[in-house]
Chains A and B, each alone.
Chain A
Amino acid sequence: MSLIRKPLNRRSILRAGAVGGAALATPTIFTSKVWSAGYLNEPTGAEVILGFNVPQTGAYADEGADELRAYQLAVKHLNGEGDGGMLNTFSSKALQGNGVNGKKVAYVTGDTQTKSDAARASAKRMIEKDGAVMITGGSSSGVAIAVQSLCQEAGVIFMAGLTHSNDTTGKDKRKNGFRHFFNTEMSGAALAPVLKNAFGTDRTAYHLTADYTWGWSQEGSIKKYTEGMGWNTAAAVRTPLGAGDFSQYITPVLNSGADVLVLNHYGKDMVNSLTQAVQFGLRDKQVNGKDFAIVVPLYSRLMAQGAGENVKGIFGSTNWHWSLQDEGSKAFVKSFGQEYGFPPSQAAHTTYCQALLYADAAQRAGTFEPCALAAALEGFEFDGMGNGPTLYRAEDHQCFKDVLVVKGKENPSSQFDVLEVVEVTPRSQVEYPAEMLGGELGACNNGA
């Protein structure tokens, strides 16, 4: 069943009859292309078209730009240009650097504006007009979930970009959608032991949480794991998205008796709340005879740069960091750095991996047909992409891999060198049963 276009069959001809003039007015040039296809947007020429749907305006525009750079690099590598990047370290050797399934990889781009409506409109353009057979990208969970369900209904594959909410592969998971990025559950599981080592088990935490689904998801996970190791939660306060000035939420922390502040904020909210919390002297404060600590569960290096030296010594988790020394990361940082002159962000890394993983699955399946391709991705074990041995779990289409716990660096050597890796939490520690987060994958849809 297709949201977009479908080849004519008897029933749809009958329906077209019902619409009468409407069908007559539909020019055949728009429908003819799809007639012969076995699935939506089957590439028939020498090229296969991928849709890169990233935020180009709004608060996440820089992250979106970095994602786009990574995609362009991935396309180069897939088509055999450049040094091959992670293709050389990737454990699957199906891709030869001569395109995918004998077709050259081409792409179209669009602007999600970090709004569900705009992101869906942009994805629909790629599917309806440009003939994209896969959509990927994005920098927020709301957008990822909205586009993922669109792709499910339309019948193309969705490879999520940066989305950290549990729901993407939990409550709102879809058969056609795949996520390489980690989620709040894994952040909590990875952070808790490190926090325990650094701050002990006798702590009282105060949460400031962005008041929307991702924030709640993050707050829930951190609470669950920190309370599990003996911490108390003094309060969990919701702050409006884009509040700008957080002073009215920070001052109650001062005398609340809490000795840890958890900032469940991302993007600009994180930059602002962290900057202001440090200004209120929280980092130098002593409570109950202990040093006050601030924790930012989800770190982004790009955003950490926006908080300047306020990030120093502050713990958080991240999907990937360019200072990693495994072969895959080194190869990727090398080709990205040589191309653009600066190191890639975690957003760039996850989208680059997603593009390669999609291409590899298509090559192994021998087709771009979503259902066959999804089957090739499900349960796929791979390595050499910077996060150690990784599994694309079949039950929820979530990647399971090592999670990085990082800390703001005390003596950065350059403007990009703001985080240092404290610990690489092994995959086994962050795994959870698929049923835990609920949701139904449903049936796969190839749009025909």
Chain B
Amino acid sequence: MVTKISPARDYLLFGVFAIAVLTMPVWLAPIGAGYPDLLQKFAIFGLFATGFNLLFGLTGYLSFGHAAFLGVGSYTAVWSFKLLGMNPIPAAILAVVTSGVFALAIGYVSLRRSGIYFSILTLAFAQMSYNLAYSVLTPITNGETGLRVLESDPRLFDSSANADGPLISNLFGIEMTGYAGFYFCAVVLLIGFFIAQRIFRSPFGIMLRAVKTNQNRMNYTGLNPRPYTLAAFVISGMYAGLAGALMCITDPLAGAERMQWTASGEVVLMTILGGAGTLLGPILGAALIKYFENIFSAFNEQTLHEAFSFLPDFLEYPVVSVAGLFVGEGWHLTLGVLFMLIVIFLPGGIMEGVSRIGRLFRRSSSKVEPSGATAPAE
């Protein structure tokens, strides 16, 4: 259901999105998510999922190995810190370049196959990267402990400037931690979102959708879909690499487990949960999963008893013990139930829910203002 969307609406959507992202510290505070680390994670994984969606949402190619690019981006960023200095800009650029090259190699091979064969090829490459990074490649990746910046590293361009300063990435004096780190990530997310939006609307994006809709027909018209899908794959890998670099910019540590298949699976889930093929969906999905991971896992019996202390004792204990199954060590259960509920009742992910609500409003207001009826934000 690709509807014609005017450029003005696109800019409006982007403007609203930008304001929403930049004011997150304010409006997320009441639900306990307004602290820098989680906000950074929202932005980073939002970017990761946006990039993944450029491949999966547009072309329908389901990569199960995208975490490999995240990992490559992370390692590149930390090596850039170690060798060049703590400035995030070269780290981010190098991470995008290396992950792009990596994606080109893997994509060139994997895209020779389609469907589940493609998924397993990408999975295999990512798992090989993970297993090697964890063990044999330890000299490069520092294995289980993870790669970190050390005082003894050369850091060519800033070792003299602050020899005993903290080993934190800083952008011309601004340390990339806390809220400054978040705003850095947020700006990168906005740029990434803007580019994604342009790609969605471009002829290139339409070509990618054509790949998803009917590759055969595309072949018959004399178009070779491979260069398009490969380009989408590489761009999407670069997004992942950039996200990986941001993870290290806000927290200079790169670990192999970022490349494990569970991490690849996570971004798939984020995208589908939010709504594949929509612009905002993957970001919402990413935020929701990270919120559960960080907030729901933090509840314990003590906090539950405080939360339900208004209940009489004979009710409080059973309620707490039932609720306890879903939070703290049971936060996975909540996530599993949530996945099932959303996919059963909202086949298009969260964005489907949003657009359903949108339609409800439209129906009720359509009598008054019929011309205002446009498709909700994608």
Question: Which residues of A are in contact with B by a Cβ distance under 8 Å?
Answer: 1, 3-5, 15, 18-19, 21-23, 25-27, 29-30, 56-57, 61, 64-65, 68, 107-111, 115-118, 120-122, 124-125, 128-130, 141-142, 145-146, 149-150, 153, 167, 172, 211-214, 238, 240-241, 440, 442
Q: Give the contacts of B131-186 with A (CB-CB under 8 A).
A: 131, 134-136, 138, 143-146, 148, 151, 165-168, 172-175, 177-180, 183
Complex contacts, B151 vs chain A, CB 8 Å: 440, 442
Contact status A56-B145, CB under 8 Å = no
Asked if B302 is at the interface (CB within 8 A of a chain A CB), the reply is: yes
- Count of interface residues, chain B, beta-carbon cutoff 8 Å: 53
Question: Which residues of B are in contact with A by a Cβ distance under 8 Å?
Answer: 22-23, 25-26, 29, 32, 34-38, 41, 131, 134-136, 138, 143-146, 148, 151, 165-168, 172-175, 177-180, 183, 247, 251, 253, 255, 257-258, 293-294, 297-300, 302, 328-329, 331-332
Complex contacts, B144 vs chain A, CB 8 Å: 141-142, 212-214
Which one, B23, B145, B173, B257, contacts A115 given CB within 8 A?
Answer: B257
Which one, B134, B255, B298, B299, contacts A117 given CB within 8 A?
Answer: B255
Complex contacts, A240 vs chain B, CB 8 Å: 131, 135
Contact status B25-A27, CB under 8 Å = yes
Q: How far is the CA of A65 from the CA of B330 in the complex (A)?
A: 12
Chain B residue nearest to A120 in the complex (CB): B251
Contact status B297-A146, CB under 8 Å = no
Complex contacts, A19 vs chain B, CB 8 Å: 174, 180, 183
Contact status B253-A125, CB under 8 Å = no
Distance (whole angstroms) from the CB of B37 to the closest CB of chain A: 4
| Apart from the given pairs A22-B183, A27-B25, A146-B145, 5 other A-B contacts in the complex at a CB distance below 8 Å | A26-B25, A30-B179, A57-B332, A111-B331, A116-B146
Contact status A108-B298, CB under 8 Å = yes
Chain A residue nearest to B177 in the complex (CB): A3
Q: Which of A4, A21, A64, A124 has its CB near the most chain B CB atoms (within 10 A)?
A: A124
How many residue pairs, one in A and one in B, have C-beta atoms under 8 Å apart?
150
Listed from nearest, the 9 A-B pairs whose CB atoms lie closest are A56-B329, A124-B37, A111-B297, A212-B144, A129-B35, A211-B135, A142-B144, A22-B183, A1-B166
Q: Chain B contact residues: over half helix, strand or loop, or mixed? A: helix
Contact status B35-A128, CB under 8 Å = yes
Q: How far is the CA of A25 from the CA of B20 in the complex (A)?
A: 12
Q: How far is the CA of A418 from the CA of B15 in the complex (A)?
A: 64
Q: How far is the CA of A340 from the CA of B60 in the complex (A)?
A: 52
Complex contacts, B36 vs chain A, CB 8 Å: 4, 124, 128
Q: How far is the CA of A124 from the CA of B253 in the complex (A)?
A: 14
Q: How far is the CA of A124 from the CA of B37 in the complex (A)?
A: 6
Which one, A3, A120, A124, contacts B168 given CB within 8 A?
Answer: A3
21 contacts between A and B (CB under 8 A): A1-B166, A3-B177, A15-B175, A23-B179, A27-B29, A30-B25, A30-B29, A56-B329, A61-B329, A107-B302, A108-B300, A111-B293, A111-B298, A111-B328, A115-B257, A116-B146, A129-B35, A141-B145, A211-B134, A212-B143, A240-B135
